[in-house]
């Protein structure tokens, strides 16, 4: 049996502080209905149709069974992608998943009452798998919308309603609970921080809303864990605090930017916990600190273990990355650490990542294995744009053009070039110079996803 992690799931649940949490005490209470919340929310949930000439080829081309799920009963025409979205502003701002509109040439949103409008893509952030659309109308229209909830109020066991358009059959709502918080290593988006729910989520739910009992948005459907292509009761959703950042970025007409911490971290496992004298393996260990970075300026040191940010517990490296990213790029954050067995707190400035060295982008020509690649010098700013560790230095492949030598030999964006024929590559000028040499063979060392790879190619 194959295990699939399908990118269109559901998300989260949160308890509003104004509502007392009690279990049903009688048959009358069991007969209570979610209909009032559904009536309030359903008008703001839409279907998202995006025309994509690459859609059928890209989605499970060798698996007709799964392709049928993506384009099952009621699905859009050949060469299109169907997902869901939720309106978060009366002006017609729609949040959906980035993978729903990844290669879209035309986007339309459809309401449950059969109204349909064209939409413009304002922002697509691949790292979080979120996108923001703007509904286009000839007349000034006020749209129904869902307000954003409070992620801090979310608890395991809270009830949640998942809205979407599964399999293209039409708007559907399912009910479940929050099964777990802060799931990492899900592998759906680079934010790597999800809320798990057992509300039934299926293909077509991507970008749909997860609503709490106060009728507020607490997450965006993102993925399901499945052996068959259908819901097995394990779904993951992007928390609303990340949704808020992406929406605000779209409103301001800028890309999503993460704050720069300026340190390399690693999760504390049992071995590290024993070495550091910790009573349990939690937190993120600072293994490298960049000089003149916000972390260094705040007084943090190598071997400090980050345990909290603004009072939010940090379980591991992934949860640190997510929580710190949601702090924004203005003001300060209170970072709690364990140092020499004692807790301490430091104030870290929230700053945009700087371009500490000029990126000096160069398109490599000639007849080397790098021909057709665009290379840049790494800085925290470039690393942020490419979703790399901001402490990484060197030369990175930012883009590889189609039908070029670089594409044929297998070079990829985000590859970091470490060495070519024994020459250390420290900047783009060095890479361009070495690739101009006429060589009988090429011995290349690159770093990809934290691993070093060696390529030996004939000249």
Q: Active-site positions? A: 99, 129, 206
DSSP state of 58: H
Contact 432, 417 (CB under 8 A): no
Distance CA 385, CA 390 (A): 10
Cβ atoms within 10 A of the Cβ of 268, count?
25
Distance CA 205, CA 202 (A): 6
**Which runs of consecutive H residues, i.e. helices, occur in 150-218?**
none
Distance CA 413, CA 211 (A): 37
**Closest among 428, 421, 432 to 457, alpha carbons compared:** 421
Q: Which two tokens stand for residue 138?
A: 């000839």
- In degrees and rounded to multiples of 5, residue 117 shows phi and psi of -135, 150
Contact 56, 97 (CB under 8 A): no
SS3 category, 138: coil
Strands (E), 317-450: 332-339, 342-349, 362-363, 373-377, 395-400, 416-420, 423-424, 441-448
């Amino acid at each position: 049996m194959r295990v699939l992690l399908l990118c269109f799931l559901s998300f989260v649940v949160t308890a509003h502080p104004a509502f007392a949490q009690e279990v049903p005490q009688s048959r009358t209470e069991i007969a209570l209905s979610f209909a009032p919340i559904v009536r309030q929310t359903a008008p703001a949930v839409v279907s998202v149709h995006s025309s994509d000439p690459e859609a059928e080829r890209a989605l499970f081309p060798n698996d007709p069974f799964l392709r049928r799920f993506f384009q099952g009963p009621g699905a859009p025409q050949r060469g299109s992608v169907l997902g869901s979205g939720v309106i978060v502003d009366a002006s017609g701002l729609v949040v959906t998943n980035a993978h729903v509109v990844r290669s879209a040439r035309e986007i339309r949103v459809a309401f449950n009452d059969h109204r349909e409008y064209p939409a413009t893509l304002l922002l697509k952030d691949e790292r979080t798998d979120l996108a923001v659309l703007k509904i286009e109308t000839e007349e000034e229209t006020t749209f129904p919308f869902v307000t954003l909830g409070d992620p801090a109020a979310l608890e395991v066991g809270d009830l949640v309603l998942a809205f979407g358009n599964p399999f293209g059959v039409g708007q559907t709502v399912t009910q479940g609970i929050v099964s777990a918080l802060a799931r990492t290593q899900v592998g759906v988006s680079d934010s790597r921080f999800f809320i798990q729910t057992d509300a039934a989520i299926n293909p077509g739910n991507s970008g749909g809303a997860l609503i709490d009992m106060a009728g507020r948005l607490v997450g965006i459907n993102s993925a399901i864990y499945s052996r068959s292509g259908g819901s097995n009761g394990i779904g993951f959703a992007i928390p609303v605090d990340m949704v808020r950042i992406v929406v605000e970025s779209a409103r301001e007409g800028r890309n999503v930017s993460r704050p720069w911490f300026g340190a390399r971290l690693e999760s504390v496992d049992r071995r590290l916990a024993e070495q550091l004298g910790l009573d349990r393996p939690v937190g993120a260990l600072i293994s490298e600190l960049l000089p003149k970075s916000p972390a260094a300026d705040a007084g943090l040191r190598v071997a400090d273990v980050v345990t909290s940010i603004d009072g939010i517990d940090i379980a591991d490296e992934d949860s640190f990355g997510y929580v710190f990213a949601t702090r924004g790029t203005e003001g300060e954050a209170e970072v709690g650490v364990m140092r020499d067995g004692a807790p301490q707190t430091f104030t870290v400035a929230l700053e945009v990542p700087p371009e500490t060295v000029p990126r000096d982008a160069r398109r490599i020509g000639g007849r080397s294995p790098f021909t057709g690649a665009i290379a840049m010098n790494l800085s925290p700013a470039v690393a942020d744009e490419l979703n790399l560790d901001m402490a990484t230095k060197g030369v990175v492949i930012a883009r590889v053009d189609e039908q070029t030598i670089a594409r044929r030999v297998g070079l990829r964006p985000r590859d970091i070039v470490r060495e070519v024929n024994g020459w250390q590559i420290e900047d783009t000028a060095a890479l361009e110079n070495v690739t101009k040499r006429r060589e009988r063979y090429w011995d290349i060392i690159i770093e990809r996803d934290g691993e070093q790879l060696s390529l030996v190619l004939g000249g």
